[in-house]
Amino acid sequence: MARKFVVNPDWAAMLLDTQAAIDAVANVGPVGIVGFCLGGSVVYAAATKLSGLTAAIGYYGGAIVRFADDKPKVPTQLHFGEKDTGIPLTDVEIIRGKRPEVEIHVYSGAQHGFNCEERASYDKASADIARARSVEFLAKHLKK
């Protein structure tokens, strides 16, 4: 099956949908957001532009570098694979340089999609470490 990629995603619509989801659960308590791939980029944009979030975690968001000048309003954690052919380490270093307050992890030998068990690029060791870091990050920042 051929993969289909979104060339020009509708960022405004995605952020409107994300804000609606945040608003829908805000009465329950602190709201954290986690996203993968394009969702990782949406998470970063949401952390910089939307209200109602308490913490944000993005996995291998390729468009994050486009938004790196924007400072997140909430604690933000990002995960990247060292061998991700779609997100060069130079992009990760740009993000790190512009956003020193963001917690950034790069996983040695990991590719894009390293946290998805359904992909050939799944890397259990990296995924286990990233998930533990994510859980710890959310536990720390989503306390009531």
- Catalogue the active-site residues: 37, 84, 112
SS3 string, 32-85, reads: EEEEECHHHHHHHHHHHHCCCCCEEEEECCCCHHHHCCCCCCCCEEEEEECCCC
Is the Cβ–Cβ distance between 72 and 55 less than 8 Å?
no
130: left (phi over 0), alpha (psi -120 to 50) or beta: alpha
